[in-house]
Structure 1
Amino acid sequence: MTAAERVIVIGGGIGGLTAAAALRLRGARVTVLERAPSLEPVGAAISLSPNALRALDVIGLGDDIRALSAWQGDGGLRTPSGRWLARADAAAAAERFGGPLVLLHRATLVDRLAGLLPSGAVRTGAPARLTDPGVPGDPGRPARVETPDGELEGDLVVAADGIHSAVRGALFPGHPGAVYSGFTTWRVLVPLPGVAFPSHETWGRGAIWGTHPLKDGRVYAYAAAVAPSGERAPDDERAELLRRYGDWHSPVPEVLAAVRPEDVLRHDVHHIAEPLPAFHLGRVALVGDAAHAMPPTLGQGGNQAVEDAITLAFPRPDMPSCADAPVADGLSGYTAVRLPRTTAVARRAVRTARLNLMTGRVGTVVRDAGLAALSKAAPSLFLRGFDGVADWRPPGGPSGAAGDGSGAPRMLAADHGRRGPEENTP
């Protein structure tokens, strides 16, 4: 890449901002187009596992995020009555995956990523439409993007425009796009002084609940339940949560008592069931949900977006900053690396959703008994579900190998907190 390479990023969420920061570090002139009036995110949290934290190390942000995050210590998996099915061994997980899983408010991460960009690089209230994907290597065919302020030309376009990506639809019009995953989600973020509890996720019949403390004293809670697409409460969503979860173990009732109806966010979950043929076309690369939207049941949606962004910008271990090769010339390599990995992670997330949202009574009893027995007999087997996911390391970066971080992870929290009303966040 030369310092003059022009990059247009469509979407100012976590994937788009990470890509913008990484590509700027390579010397690009980056413009981020965000259709929302501000970068202020929906009030929710996000969990970052060791793979994403190591990716953030490449752009110098990993330790900053670790220091700002609520460290996820010992926790586990429970039944609605409060019985522990499995306990997470923080020390074993930290050793296995080389670092922590941390939880923080999504706004914190967005602010830190945006802070790596120069003033004016992010344009909010700027919807964008891809009009020409361009042709790599042909200076007469840059990519073209239409905005309210006129047309922009770019040597590279990074499409990070979410689950129902318009850019994806333009590149691959024959692809079916995202489909309903079969369940809906709720999120709340509230202060809960005087109530102490370990982070946990609770599995019932066709429903789950998770409660996690944040470093600022607030509590982040999420719920998910099998439901028809588009269904909404006849009164309000707080009342719906009370009906579904009001008799579950503490601190669920305490959280619901602290929640106002306007605090509750409800969104249906969608995922890309049929993988795309590629994550690029012409001079355009897809990242995050635009490329591989997945259920949040592994907590990897945002984490995989961060991986995408870093791999796109620094695809080789020997890649220096301000490299000569244009990124658009290597997009086939980006697809070759990222499509198989994200497809495998997404399929694992779908399988996990089938397990933790099981609706049959007998199946649920067998599931719970199996989890309890597995946790007692071989606790390390419980962590194997994250092998090949949380232990990922970036291919390279401007400062060489990424740092390991430290601390105690909890490998149960899901990825909760991406932007927008249609996002996969319980």
Structure 2
Amino acid sequence: MRGSAVIVGAGIAGTAAARGLLRAGWSVQVFERNASFPASGTALGMWPEAMDALDRLGVGDAVRADSVQERGARLLRPDGREIAALGLGRTARLVPRTVLLNALAGYLPAGLVQWNSPVAERAVLPEADVVVAADGISSPRRTALFGTRPRPLGTVAFRGTVPGRAGGVSETWGAGRLFGITPLDAESTNWFACLRSADLPGFLPDGAPQSRQARVQAEAPQILRGLYRGWHPGVARVLDALDGNPVDYRELFDIPPLPSYVSGRTALLGDAAHGMAPNLGRGACEALLDAVALVTALTTAPDVAAALRTYDAGRRRHGIRTVRLARLLNRVSTAQRFTAPRNAVLNAAARFS
């Protein structure tokens, strides 16, 4: 089957869907509220199933050529002692966001993405056989269709990159907060920090009143050094290198279970369907799997309605489970009490996995 598609959002899910549908002979239009793809970005974990999806989209080799492969990770205490070694049986690729988006966009003709084109909640879109809502966790299209808005996780995250080799993948879990370190590429380190929202005010600097977002963004290096003072040398090295390097800060949300990923001729993809806590490192993977599942359904089913039913049946239950697991891990990893029993359970589970 061939047809026409309007895609709202040129992030990972939207760009992957656009590429897949174009290669299958569909007519595609993409609307994106931003002015361009991001010029920089942190590393995204690509598990084997995501790499398979990229192969099906024709960009797997390009992504492999400009990414780092890692096997397993170390879970550490703030003093650097190991809690557990995780995932030693699986490999993952760490891919800079810019590398992934540029690879996916390589097939898109000039002018296909209409930049600076936000689509409001009740906006009327051009006529098309399918509308793909890939407009992020705050998706106006999802809100219009289902009335579902993001729910706060009660945690915040910082992330960025600094120069220097990472030396492997680690997460350090303390009481109420964590700090993660991975490679970005052969010469740069990707890092991320997560903590309970309620713990942040005590580390905000004194000064003129500003919005919390503005104050945190402006003073992020100082805040992070206060939050993670005394943690092991791997964390300290990153903290020492923060000045002059951009730091992203955001409050964390996820999406409650939806009754469907489909309404009429509209399909929800990526964070619009199943925005989740970042702790599993699955957000980009799931967006790619959504895109490939939708493209496959639309190019093999007898009609659009059947294709969208197939897509929903194949992706929604998995998406709901993944959101729940990510939410649980977000809570466990930032637990403020009973951290010693938590660590003992993780150590035992890793030994028998």
TM-score (norm 2): 0.90
Percent of residue pairs bearing the same amino acid type: 34
1:261 is displaced (CA, Å) by: 5.9
The 5-angstrom pairing of residues 206-285 of structure 1 reads: 206-228=176-198, 231-232=212-213, 233=215, 236-260=219-243, 263-272=246-255, 274-285=256-267
> Which residue number in structure 2 is paired with residue 386 of structure 1?
none
How many residue pairs get aligned? The number is 340
> Is residue 2:102 matched to residue 1:111?
yes
In structure 2, which of residues 323, 345, 351 is the aligned counterpart of residue 370 of structure 1?
345
- Asked if 2 retains the 8 angstrom alpha-carbon contact of 1:312 and 1:327, the reply is no
- Asked if 1 retains the 8 angstrom alpha-carbon contact of 2:43 and 2:183, the reply is no
> Which residue number in structure 2 is paired with residue 154 of structure 1?
128
> Is residue 2:36 matched to residue 1:47?
no
Amino acid at match of 2:177: A
- Asked if 2 retains the 8 angstrom alpha-carbon contact of 1:32 and 1:122, the reply is yes
1:329 is displaced (CA, Å) by: 4.4
Q: Higher helix proportion, which one?
A: 2
> Is residue 2:292 matched to residue 1:292?
no
Aligned with 2:339: secondary structure? helix
1:371 is displaced (CA, Å) by: 1.8
Q: Where do 5+ consecutive residues of structure 1 fail to align?
A: 94-99, 133-143, 146-151, 382-426
- Asked if 1 retains the 8 angstrom alpha-carbon contact of 2:55 and 2:61, the reply is yes
Measured on the aligned residues, the alpha-carbon RMSD in Å equals 2.1
Amino acid at match of 1:367: R
Q: Distance in 2 between matches of 1:338 and 1:129?
A: 26
Amino acid at match of 2:302: A
1:337 is displaced (CA, Å) by: 1.6
- Asked if 2 retains the 8 angstrom alpha-carbon contact of 1:211 and 1:222, the reply is yes
> Which residue number in structure 2 is paired with residue 181 of structure 1?
153
1:262 is displaced (CA, Å) by: 5.6
1:308 is displaced (CA, Å) by: 0.7
> Which residue number in structure 1 is paired with residue 208 of structure 2?
none
Q: Distance in 2 between matches of 1:73 and 1:300?
A: 16
- Asked if 2 retains the 8 angstrom alpha-carbon contact of 1:156 and 1:328, the reply is no
Q: Where do 5+ consecutive residues of structure 2 fail to align?
A: 201-210
Do the aligned partners of residues 248 and 15 (structure 1) sit closer, same or farther apart at CA in structure 2, a change above 3 Å counting?
A: same
Amino acid at match of 2:221: R
Q: Which structure has more RCO (C-alpha within 8 Å, separation ≥ 6)?
A: 1
> Which residue number in structure 1 is paired with residue 207 of structure 2?
none
1:246 is displaced (CA, Å) by: 2.8
Aligned with 1:205: secondary structure? coil
1:280 is displaced (CA, Å) by: 1.1
Amino acid at match of 1:370: V
Aligned with 2:127: secondary structure? strand
> Which residue number in structure 1 is paired with residue 167 of structure 2?
197
Do the aligned partners of residues 19 and 247 (structure 1) sit closer, same or farther apart at CA in structure 2, a change above 3 Å counting?
A: same
TM-score (norm 1): 0.75
> Which residue number in structure 1 is paired with residue 203 of structure 2?
none
Do the aligned partners of residues 82 and 314 (structure 1) sit closer, same or farther apart at CA in structure 2, a change above 3 Å counting?
A: same
Q: Distance in 1 between matches of 2:154 and 2:128?
A: 38
Do the aligned partners of residues 327 and 24 (structure 1) sit closer, same or farther apart at CA in structure 2, a change above 3 Å counting?
A: farther
